[in-house]
Structure 1
Amino acid sequence: MVKKLAILLLFCYSFIKIEAQVNCFANVAIDKHSVYAQEPFKATVTVSTATWYTAPLDFDNIQISNAFILPFSRTFSTMLTVNGKQYASLQFYFIVFPYKPGNYSFPAINIRVETPPLGSSTSQKVTINTSPQKFVVKDIPQKFKGENWFVAKNVYVSEHWNKSLNNLKVGDVLKRTVVIDAKGTLPQFIPGFKNDSLDWASVYPDDPDLADTRDDYDANGKRTQTITYLLEKEGTFEMPAINIAWWNPYASRLYKRSAAGATLHVKANPNLGMLTTLKDSLSAFSAAKEAVHQHKGALRIYGILWYWFLLYALIALCLTYVVVRMIIAAYKKIRQRRRLYVVSEPYWFKKFLSAQNKTGSVVNALYAWWDRWIAKDKFPSVNQTLQDGQDKHILEEMNTYNKEVYNEGNKNALVDKDFKTLIRQLRKERTSTNEPARQVDERQDLWEES
């Protein structure tokens, strides 16, 4: 009985594990199965689960003989439908650069995944693998044999000289820097160019500087090389052009670009005593000196010389301090104006005009404004002021309102619609402009009927 129970538990465990594997799978798709040497292709890995992922994917390093593999860490999430079922999928990709003809395969990948099986919220660790994908690397076309074979999407060639090409003389040193910026390839594949010997100048090429300039989607490279020329003869000479040719695999054709040559007019130099010494120095130390020179220099912060960075930071701090002080001063000024305004007569008259026409609201607002109003022949009592003046019609309206509220007990009594208009006219006619407005402490609460 115990043995049967153990077998049953083992079977259930195996079933759960198989269920997790069935609902999580991976595959590899390559966009080209036949390429030339150096021609890249893209391998996209898709990992799908019927539920969700509870941890990042973990997979082995990939190696292919006679090829460079460029992994891209950016992962894309998507939903895939397989046999009518929805799967949460993660995609990442590699760019493969084979460099030797032959038959190869993109290897199977072991991927470790943490995901819960269907109907469960507890994740399980499972290992899934992909199938290998075969591809063929073709040899260079026969018509390009002997040439520098170079595959790229696009290439840009630029050059600059260390000095003007005018007024040259024997003994001058020229430096020509050529930059080859290639898209869709690795910097290791960018070919160099010939530095033919010249009978009118000595040529000293420096070691090239290779830079990986890849972006989030593609491989890119840049090759920078400097050639130093020591002018040894007078006359008119042609500086040779530098030509770069590459194969575009998407257009299936050859393209060319070049750094144009130049015509040099070299004048005689009566002071040639140092020419031999200069030539020996360039032969022995030019490449080393240039390399050391490139690595030395003042400290830079975010590409800015440190002293300029400190100056900019100081200016930014000063501007920030000034702006903050201005904001604080403006805030205090606005706050003070606001405090004076909320205890002023115009503010409370505005509250009276906006008071709702319901029990107590209009009359209470009228009394609050009356305390702050400075007027000719005004008494503290509203009724006394209106009795002594020519505004008995306003008093009649107030008496009618008070009678309804206090004598008849009608707490829903309303003032007439023209009541506020009459008060506005009274304020306009009797406001005194010779006396300062009375200020009432802002802490004084407005009385409200309970």
Structure 2
Amino acid sequence: MVKQLGFMFLLLVLGTQLHAQSIISYATLNKKQAYIGEPVQLTVSVYTSTWFTSGVDVGNIQIDGALTVYFRSLSNSRTFNGKKYSGVSFYYNLFPNKTGELIIPSLSINVESPKPDNYKGIKHAVKTKPETLKVNDIPMGYDPNSWLVSNGLTVQQKWSTPLTKVKVGDVVQRTITRSAGGTLSEFIPSTAWDSIPGISIYPKRATVNTTKAKTYVSASRTETVNYLFEKEGNVLIPGTTYTYWNPGSQVFYTKTLDAVPITVAPNPDLEMLASIKKSLQKTVEAEVEQEEKPFTILGLSAKNFSIYVLTGLLFLFVVYKLTKRLLRWIKLKRLQYLNSEKYAFKQALSALKQHDSGQFLIKSRIWIKTLDSRYETLSSFAQKFNFENLNDALLKYNQDAFQKKTSANTKVIVHLKNALVQSRKVYLLQDEKIKPNNNKWLNPTAID
């Protein structure tokens, strides 16, 4: 009873009181000490006196000195100090990978929960207290290179060919597969291959795999080795023993593959032995080189690839911005051109060239208004500036196009076109001369 009251008090101290709304968060371990590779259950729980209006975000839990495996979350309820709380618990397995004191840091949990008299969720960030796990050294007398913690271990082996018909120069492949429960593939040690007189050994790269279910994790490691038999006679493939520690029963267990005797028959054709040996050696060297070769993307290291990607994205962003500005500038210039006197004059000449007197009348008035808003027609413009050639051309064009009600002949049109071009040129030159000098001050100061 005293222990229960003490635990309840600890939970209430860890809780965060916010305006009569209580949020409690804590982390617990199912054991206080463990060996390297021994799974330790970490449970992270958070409770509220009301309810959660959105999912609880625990974040990515990373612990220095251990591998972390997330399993599941479970909604539940608990009673604290006589009051019922709704909550959710997150279950993890920690696998220590070095000895010493392992610190599970304070975890920040983001939640949304309303006040008791409201329904709108309020964001809160609550923290758990740090926890400590003692990671023990491997017991004396056990090889650290073959250390394994597992709930159970199965060992299987197979041979590529029958061992009753082996002769000198033959290559026999041996495959050993170990499946271990309650651990990760990173913690299954490699097999130590004993040297055997008269046999050359060529190990291949191991294949590892980790399988995770909702409440359990298991792993496997498959290792293959090639035996090249170089001498005739009787040889013995040594037995192999695998030892593991079962954390549930707190007992060491062993799995043994018995020794295998083989009689190697003679082979008169020994010329191919050297080439086979060379080929196997190249295979081993290629696998070792592949393992040692750094990870690359398109022939680049991850760092250089990231730099190229970021540089490319920056370049594309700059190109996009410049293109956007260029298109906006082109659009503005196009709009300015469409509203310009030059474009209006071009449209008027186009209508004139097409022998369309109606359109020419409309387009010429638009041009005149654009050129000088004081004038409504070509005639008034020509009279004002004494463009006799333009007056004469307009008179002949009007006679042909409107009085005779026929299309003006080409000679008249060419005459009018030349008169328009010449008159516009003279007007623009005069207009340029009377423009003020922009280099002078707009408001000059009198000099005494």
Q: Fold match, TM over 0.5?
A: yes
Counterpart in 1 of 2:379? none
Aligned amino acid, residue 110 of structure 2 = R
Counterpart in 2 of 1:141? 139
Counterpart in 2 of 1:151? 149
RMSD of aligned alpha carbons: 2.2
Aligned amino acid, residue 275 of structure 1 = L
Per-residue CA deviations over 1:291-338 (Å, capped at 9, x if unaligned) read 99xxxxxxxxxxxxxxxxxxxxxxxxxxxxxxxxxxxxxxxxxxxxxx
Aligned amino acid, residue 204 of structure 2 = D
Counterpart in 2 of 1:233? 231
Counterpart in 1 of 2:200? 202
Counterpart in 1 of 2:28? 29
8 A contact 1:62–1:107 mirrored in 2: no
Residues of 2 paired with 1:166 and 1:17: CA distance? 77
8 A contact 2:202–2:227 mirrored in 1: yes
The Cα shift of 1:64 comes to: 2.2
Judged with a 3 Å threshold, the aligned counterparts in structure 2 of structure 1 residues 70 and 124 are, in CA distance, closer, same or farther, namely: same
Residues of 2 paired with 1:144 and 1:172: CA distance? 36
Per-residue CA deviations over 1:71-115 (Å, capped at 9, x if unaligned) read 22x211112111121111111111111122212221111010112
Residues of 2 paired with 1:164 and 1:220: CA distance? 32
Structure 1 stretches of at least 4 aligned residues deviating more than 4 Å after TM superposition: 286-292
The Cα shift of 1:257 comes to: 0.2
Per-residue CA deviations over 1:5-51 (Å, capped at 9, x if unaligned) read xxxxxxxxxxx99227x422211111011112222211101111222
Aligned amino acid, residue 109 of structure 1 = L
8 A contact 2:196–2:237 mirrored in 1: no
Per-residue CA deviations over 1:244-269 (Å, capped at 9, x if unaligned) read 10111221121000223322121111
- Of the three residues 103, 119, 122, the one matched with 2:120 is 122
The Cα shift of 1:225 comes to: 0.5
Counterpart in 2 of 1:193? 191
Residues of 2 paired with 1:19 and 1:139: CA distance? 48
Counterpart in 2 of 1:279? 277
TM-score for the superposition, normalised by structure 1 = 0.58
8 A contact 1:47–1:90 mirrored in 2: yes
Aligned amino acid, residue 240 of structure 1 = P
Once the two structures are overlaid, the 10-residue window that deviates more, 185-194 or 257-266, is: 257-266
The gaps in structure 1 that reach 5 residues or longer are 1-15, 293-450
SS of match in other structure, 1:143: coil
Residues of 2 paired with 1:258 and 1:271: CA distance? 37
Counterpart in 2 of 1:168? 166
8 A contact 2:65–2:97 mirrored in 1: yes
Residues of 2 paired with 1:182 and 1:87: CA distance? 39
- Of the three residues 94, 100, 116, the one matched with 1:96 is 94
The gaps in structure 2 that reach 5 residues or longer are 1-15, 291-448
The Cα shift of 1:224 comes to: 0.6
8 A contact 1:207–1:287 mirrored in 2: no
Counterpart in 1 of 2:48? 49
The Cα shift of 1:218 comes to: 2.4
Judged with a 3 Å threshold, the aligned counterparts in structure 2 of structure 1 residues 215 and 283 are, in CA distance, closer, same or farther, namely: same
Residues of 1 paired with 2:175 and 2:288: CA distance? 12
Counterpart in 1 of 2:319? none
8 A contact 1:23–1:117 mirrored in 2: no
Counterpart in 1 of 2:267? 269
Counterpart in 1 of 2:77? 79
SS of match in other structure, 1:282: helix
Once the two structures are overlaid, the 10-residue window that deviates more, 146-155 or 249-258, is: 146-155
Residues of 1 paired with 2:173 and 2:160: CA distance? 5
Per-residue CA deviations over 1:218-246 (Å, capped at 9, x if unaligned) read 23211110000111111121111221101
SS of match in other structure, 1:177: strand
Residues of 1 paired with 2:19 and 2:76: CA distance? 22
Residues of 2 paired with 1:174 and 1:280: CA distance? 16
Residues of 1 paired with 2:136 and 2:148: CA distance? 14
Residues of 1 paired with 2:107 and 2:144: CA distance? 38
Per-residue CA deviations over 1:277-303 (Å, capped at 9, x if unaligned) read 1111111125748999xxxxxxxxxxx
- The reply to whether residue 18 of structure 1 matches residue 18 of structure 2 is yes
The Cα shift of 1:193 comes to: 1.7
Q: How many residues align?
A: 275
Residues of 2 paired with 1:130 and 1:219: CA distance? 26
SS of match in other structure, 2:146: coil
Residues of 2 paired with 1:142 and 1:276: CA distance? 45
- Of the three residues 98, 106, 109, the one matched with 2:107 is 109
Aligned amino acid, residue 37 of structure 2 = Q
Residues of 2 paired with 1:189 and 1:47: CA distance? 32
The Cα shift of 1:166 comes to: 2.0
SS of match in other structure, 2:256: strand
Residues of 2 paired with 1:291 and 1:104: CA distance? 35
8 A contact 1:40–1:96 mirrored in 2: yes
The Cα shift of 1:146 comes to: 6.0
Counterpart in 1 of 2:62? 63
Judged with a 3 Å threshold, the aligned counterparts in structure 2 of structure 1 residues 263 and 287 are, in CA distance, closer, same or farther, namely: farther
Per-residue CA deviations over 1:146-177 (Å, capped at 9, x if unaligned) read 66222111111111111111211111110000
Residues of 1 paired with 2:240 and 2:133: CA distance? 35
8 A contact 2:26–2:46 mirrored in 1: yes
Residues of 1 paired with 2:46 and 2:284: CA distance? 54
Percent sequence identity over aligned pairs: 34
Counterpart in 2 of 1:399? none
Residues of 1 paired with 2:107 and 2:287: CA distance? 47
8 A contact 1:206–1:287 mirrored in 2: no
SS of match in other structure, 2:18: helix
8 A contact 2:145–2:189 mirrored in 1: no
Residues of 2 paired with 1:93 and 1:107: CA distance? 16
Aligned amino acid, residue 175 of structure 1 = Q
Judged with a 3 Å threshold, the aligned counterparts in structure 2 of structure 1 residues 286 and 99 are, in CA distance, closer, same or farther, namely: closer
